[in-house]
Amino acid sequence: MVNGFLKFYTAPFYLGLDERDPLFQLVDRQMVDILPGEHFHRIVGALGEKIVGLHKHNVDPDEPHVNKPFVRDMRIGVKRGASMAEIPEWMTAIDPEGKGGPEILAPVRRAVPKPGPGQLLIRVAAAGVNRPDVAQREGGYPPPPGAPSILGLELAGEVVALGEGTLPELLGQPMCALVAGGGYAEYAVADAGLCLPVPNTLSMVEAAAIPETLLTVWHNLFERAYVADGDRVLIHGGTSGIGTMAILLGRIFELETIVTAGSDDKCAAALKLGASHAINYRTQDFVAEVTRITGGAGVDAVLDMVGGSYLPRNLDCLADDGRHVSIAILGGAKAEIPIFKIMQKRLTLTGSTLRPRSVEFKELLTSEVAQMVWPHVEEGRLKPVIDSTFPLVQAADAHRRMDEDHIGKVVLTV
């Protein structure tokens, strides 16, 4: 403690916004301050004001889907969207009542939701399909309390109605959003703080494929594993939605990415996206390959969605002081861990799930992504990989595609 400030060293990019902890870790492992409460809240308020600017845009009525950068001293043009009176009472949605295979994903009629305080009603143009949607359909991942039972964790569309306390300039704006549920529908409610403006570098399909995967990868790889430029990272499922996003971010932030995939074609696709190395786990031992690639040094971090028997093998791949982050358990929920190896190599094991986290946490995470990543999206340097699209009413086929040999994101169009 020096002059009322606690000194510590940072990992790059990490704002440390876990449940509003007053921890700011920025760039290049520089030493910064943990601020006393009143100073922290002052800085968070200032950060919030800066982020609000990303949601305000001058809008040319002749180009309704072109976002132009907001300049604080300029007069804001407002495009008028539909009023609540013009919005239908009913909509088509995918809201299965039971659990089962893709065949239960039949379109149904549901009431159009109304935005509450701090929320936006979005006319959905497209919605991303993710593994948690599959798990929910199968009965293994129920929505958190208060979330819609309608499937869908990310979407893109036009803001058509505003809840109390939201910026009037948002009406009529194209936005993509992270939601706790409700994306597989013609209309959905999103918290304004979890929305990002869709720039003209993205289609609505591309925008819908970003929020869940981008926020998941950013939080787990850059915050929980606190990777820095030059770090080596092992990414399992390299051609999944998560894997392809991790490769793209690794290319932008100068990581050496080693990915695993289930075929030579998938490995080739990963290398084309920018992966440094690709391992066919069906024909190669990924532990031996990581050892060979790194000259025995190991990787700085592992992003793992497999779990099960992969976990102890992942620890063999880690360098001293390495970090292991679990984000899914497709290969099993239990693993036998060699405790002495963790002690010997000073390893860190962590993991997370994003959906049940508080809105406040997700808002702060979205703000960090808006600062650190969204400029790359706006300039066209980051685009999600789209495998295929399906109409909303063919959600069953979209889920079947998730079980096939796909590369990148599957997206529903409305």
Q: For residue 230, tell me if it sits in a domain.
A: yes
Contact 210, 198 (CB under 8 A): no
What is the reported pLDDT for 86?
84
For the segment 241-297, what is each residue's pLDDT rounded down to a tens digit? 999 999 999 999 999 999 999 999 999 999 999 999 999 999 999 999 999 999 999
Same domain for 233 and 198: no
Percent of the chain with pLDDT over 90: 79
pLDDT digits (tens, 9 = 90+) for 148-157: 999 999 999 9
Task: Report if residue 273 sits inside a domain.
Answer: yes
Looking at the fold, whether 96 and 192 belong to one and the same domain comes out as yes
Cβ-contact 123, 158 below 8 angstroms: yes
**Is 314 among the domain residues?**
yes
Q: Are residues 113 and 237 in the same domain?
A: no
pLDDT given at position 85: 52
Same domain? For 322 and 409 the reply is no
243/341 same-domain check? yes
71 falls within a domain: no
Same domain, 89 and 124: yes
Same domain (yes/no): 113, 188: yes
Task: Mark which of 308, 324, 351 sits at the end of a domain.
Answer: 351
Q: Is residue 203 part of a domain?
A: yes
205 and 94 housed in the same domain: yes
Choosing from 331, 351, 371, the residue where a domain stops is: 351
- Are residue 93 and residue 173 in the same domain, yes or no? yes
- Tell me, yes or no, whether 2 lies in a domain: no
In a domain, 49, yes or no: no
Q: What is the pTM of this model?
A: 0.81
Q: Are residues 240 and 347 in the same domain?
A: yes
Of 301, 321, 351, the last residue of a domain is: 351
Long-range contacts of 78-83 (CB under 8 A, 24+ apart): 78/168, 78/169, 78/171, 78/172, 79/171, 79/172, 79/173, 80/171, 80/172, 81/158, 81/159, 81/160, 81/161, 81/171, 81/172, 82/123, 82/160, 82/161, 83/161
Task: In whole angstroms, give the CA distance from residue 238 to residue 267.
Answer: 8
- Check whether residue 163 and residue 201 sit in a common domain: yes
CATH of the domain at 226: 3.40.50.720
Using pLDDT thresholds of 50, 70 and 90, give the confidence band for residue 36: very low
10 has pLDDT over 80? no
Q: What's the average model confidence in pLDDT over 400-406?
A: 95
Range of the domain at 243: 217-351
Whether 94 maps to a domain, the answer reads: yes
pLDDT value, residue 365: 98
Residue, of 42 and 339, whose pLDDT is higher: 339
What is the count of structural domains for the chain? Answer: 2
Which of 207, 257, 274, 249 has the alpha carbon at shortest distance from 373? 249
Q: What CATH number does residue 392 fall under?
A: 3.90.180.10
The answer to whether the beta carbons of residues 226 and 14 sit under 8 Å apart is: yes
User: Do residues 147 and 204 share a domain?
Assistant: yes
Q: What residue spans of 253-326 are helical by DSSP H?
A: 264-273, 286-293, 310-317
